[in-house]
Amino acid sequence: MTKKKPLAENQMLISILASVISIAVGLLFGFILLLILNPSKAGVGMSAMLTTGFGSLDKFGKVLYQAAPLMLCGLSVGFAFKTGLFNIGASGQYTMGAFFALIGAIVLHLPWWACLLLSCVGGGIWGIFPGLFKALFNVNEVITSIMFNWIGMFLVNLLLANTPIMLASAWGASNSDRTADLNVANPSAIIPKAGLDKLFGNSPWINISVFIAIAVAILMWFILQKTTFGYELKACGLNKEASRYAGINANRNIILSMIIAGALSGLGGGLYYLAGTIQYVLEKSVLGMGFDGIPVALLANSHPIGTIFSSLFISYIKVGGSAMQPNFSSETINIIIAVIIYLAAFALLMRGVIMKLLKKLAGKADKEVSA
């Protein structure tokens, strides 16, 4: 048993420090890689990555726009983590959410908020499977999630191909490899900008989606922190045996938490594709946005409020990554993200090291407080 001084602030501090160190190591690794690849341009590339996001209002608008779906995917992964599940299926749920939202927008002609609700339903349906299979058949949720990522992608492709009205070609455009432009098909389904575009120098990206995402993050924080439901979910995740002892139905909680996680990812898909700026392209490989939810959640230590900041950070360097071209590929960002995830895989170890360092720094102040 550890007997370290467990100040709540201290725990928070350690989490934040661990994330900052992960980020720093990730960035350093990226920089070294750039130096090896092209020493003369490395400095320029790095500064492009780190400054573009604040460089112009337009870019900052894009940071906020991308942060919304990232935040929701991060919330989704983090929410599942809290219940002891690894939701690697955020991608499939995100795709399903996007599909449901677009059906609502283009086929059913619903307003934007109804489409967003539909996207939650779509993602939630896709979240049922990993939870249900785990609870009923004890199939590992990671395997189910991966399978359903692919099933989801192919299913959406199949359904879109067979619903001609969904495709851009039905609305006057020539291409049939993507969904209809919402500006043509149903402008009322586009998430309102509420005047933000004027504030952001007519940035085409900005709308209220980031505020919706933040509101959802606060809601998730409330559920996890303040409700009996959240209390039960966390108890299951932290100690399944003890939660059983307390009379909590673990299987029910596994399924419910995966449905909620799915709905969050689905909402992310809705927010991204209802902006009116991007059309869903029939994909050949699974969408990356769901996977980006993993570093967002890990950096935030699955804390909903922390997710707001970590998603903004990931979005920020992603926007910066695009600006690194043509000297370097924007994929450099994913290398940094991968390093961050890799470090998070042994987070406990790292936290232990940080804790020791903090103790050394604090020295005498940290007296043993156990009776």
Q: Which of residues 83-142 bind other proteins (CB under 8 A)?
A: 86, 88, 129, 133, 137-139, 142
Q: By CB under 8 A, which span of 112-120, 251-259, 327-335, 354-362 interacts with other proteins?
A: 327-335
Radius of gyration of the chain (CA): 22
Q: Token pair 């908020």 is at which residue?
A: 113
Q: Which of 24, 56, 150, 198 binds other proteins (CB under 8 A)?
A: 150
Q: Which is nearer to other proteins, 316 or 328 (CB)?
A: 328
Q: Give the footprint of other proteins on residues 290-319 (CB under 8 A).
A: 291, 294, 298
Residue 208 CB, nearest approach to other proteins (Å) = 27
Residue 178 CB, nearest approach to other proteins (Å) = 14
Contact flags string 21-40 toward other proteins, x per CB under 8 A? ------------x---xx--
In order, the DSSP letters of 34-72 are HHHH-TTTHHHHHHHHHHHHHH-HHHHHHHHHHHHHHHH
DSSP state of 187: G
Measured CA to CA, the distance from residue 79 to residue 118 in angstroms comes to 20
Q: Which two tokens stand for residue 42?
A: 């490395």
Q: Give the footprint of other proteins on residues 195-234 (CB under 8 A).
A: 226-229, 231, 234
Q: Give the footprint of other proteins on residues 245-284 (CB under 8 A).
A: 245-247, 284
DSSP state of 281: B
Residue 143 sits at the vertex; the CA angle it makes with 140 and 147, to the nearest 5 degrees, is: 140
Count of residues interacting with other proteins (CB under 8 A) = 77
Residue 30 CB, nearest approach to other proteins (Å) = 9
Residue 329 sits at the vertex; the CA angle it makes with 323 and 334, to the nearest 5 degrees, is: 95
Closest CA to 23 of 305, 357, 300: 300
Q: Per CB under 8 A, does 60 bind other proteins?
A: no
Q: By CB under 8 A, which span of 109-117, 264-272, 312-320, 322-330 interacts with other proteins?
A: 322-330
